[in-house]
């Protein structure tokens, strides 16, 4: 019995640190998946992929430029539709083709937050700095077409042009048909996935654009969010099973010797 007890104590001494490191590693991974700022901060200087819920930033909810909708991020684009001269080679006659160019493109740069699903907001959120971000899948909250004024016809009211942020530029080719305004928003509570470089600003973790690319923001839940949680749990169980197997092997080896 004394030999067996000694073997067990020796096995525990060897394997307990392994078990502790496995549990700690799993706990950190789970905390990052839950978007806990202290855990996320451990990835400072690394590129991260964080899935969670969009919340207002330090300045609160903002208003979109065109639709005047409450949001945490907004972007808009102005398209100019025009008639472009084109030659019909088979007929040898000149015709016209409809085309369009983007003459204005803007995305807000006010920082907003991201938290984990079900987070009671006991601590400040991880911030997202969306300057020049590539945003996809967001809701279009406005799409309006305004025709070009015609001679002898009252001009349509275009109250959106003064709200356009940034410079309107481009090659104004051909004859203008109409202008099309589009706007997209991310609202508080929307699920998002953010890909970027993690930095610390004023003691808070902030996801920014990588040095050699753009910050990416995807609207919607992460496709493998639930699977990741299962992998975390499976990794913990696997670690526990491996440690138990090693303990049994050590016990048999020492007892046989």
Return the pLDDT at 168: 84
> How is residue 62 written in tokens?
């903002």
pLDDT over 70 (residue 30): no
Close Cβ partners of 240 (under 8 Å, ≥ 6 residues apart): 19, 22
Mean pLDDT value of segment 94-105: 85
Residues 169 and 249 grouped into a single domain: no
Q: What is the pTM of this model?
A: 0.73
Domain that holds residue 252: 1-33+223-257
Q: Is residue 87 located within the same domain as residue 3?
A: no
Does one domain contain both 131 and 237?
no
- Total domain count for the chain? 2
Query: Do 60 and 90 belong together in one domain?
Result: yes
Pick the range with the lowest mean pLDDT from 9-18, 153-162, 184-193, 196-205: 9-18
User: 63 with 10, same domain?
Assistant: no
* CA-based nearest residue to 80, from 97, 98, 101: 101
Q: Are residues 1 and 99 in the same domain?
A: no
Q: Are residues 89 and 169 in the same domain?
A: yes
Continuous H helices in the chain = 2-33, 37-40, 225-256
Same domain, 127 and 163: yes
Q: How many CB atoms lie within 10 A of CB 156?
A: 13
Other Cβ atoms less than 10 A from the Cβ of 178: the count is 14
Q: Which DSSP state fits 256?
A: H
Same domain, 152 and 228: no
Distance CA 135, CA 217 (A): 5
Task: Report pLDDT for 181.
Answer: 96
Tell me if 112 sits within 8 A of 72, measured CB to CB: yes
Beta pairing class for 93-107 and 73-88: antiparallel
Q: 211 and 173 share a domain?
A: yes
In a shared domain, residues 64 and 52: yes
Distance CA 66, CA 180 (A): 12
Residue 22's pLDDT is 47
pLDDT digits (tens, 9 = 90+) for 50-92: 999 999 999 999 999 999 999 999 999 999 999 987 655 554 4
Residue 159 shares a structural domain with residue 239 = no
């Amino acid at each position: 019995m004394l030999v067996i007890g000694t073997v067990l104590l020796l096995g525990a001494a060897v394997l307990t640190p392994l078990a502790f490191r496995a549990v700690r590693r799993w706990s950190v991974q789970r905390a990052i998946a839950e978007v806990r700022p202290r855990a996320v901060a451990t990835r400072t200087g690394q590129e991260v992929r964080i899935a969670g819920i969009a919340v207002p930033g330090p300045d609160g909810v903002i208003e979109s430029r065109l639709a005047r909708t409450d949001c945490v991020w907004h972007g808009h684009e102005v398209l100019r539709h025009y008639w472009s001269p084109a030659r019909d080679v088979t007929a040898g006659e000149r015709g016209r083709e409809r085309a369009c160019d983007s003459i204005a493109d803007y995305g807000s740069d006010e920082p907003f937050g991201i938290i984990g699903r079900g987070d009671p907001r006991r601590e400040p959120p991880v911030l997202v700095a969306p300057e020049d971000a590539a945003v996809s899948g967001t809701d279009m909250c406005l799409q309006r077409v305004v025709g070009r004024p015609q001679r002898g016809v009252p001009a349509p009211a275009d109250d959106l042009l003064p709200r356009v942020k940034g410079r309107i530029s481009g090659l104004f080719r051909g004859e203008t048909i109409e202008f099309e305004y589009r706007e997209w928003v991310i609202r508080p509570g929307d699920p998002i996935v953010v890909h970027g470089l993690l930095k610390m600003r004023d003691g808070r973790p902030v996801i920014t654009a990588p040095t050699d690319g753009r910050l990416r923001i995807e609207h919607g839940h992460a496709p493998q969010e639930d699977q990741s949680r299962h992998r975390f749990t499976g990794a913990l169980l696997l670690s526990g099973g491996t440690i138990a197997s090693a303990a049994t092997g050590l016990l048999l080896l020492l007892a046989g010797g």
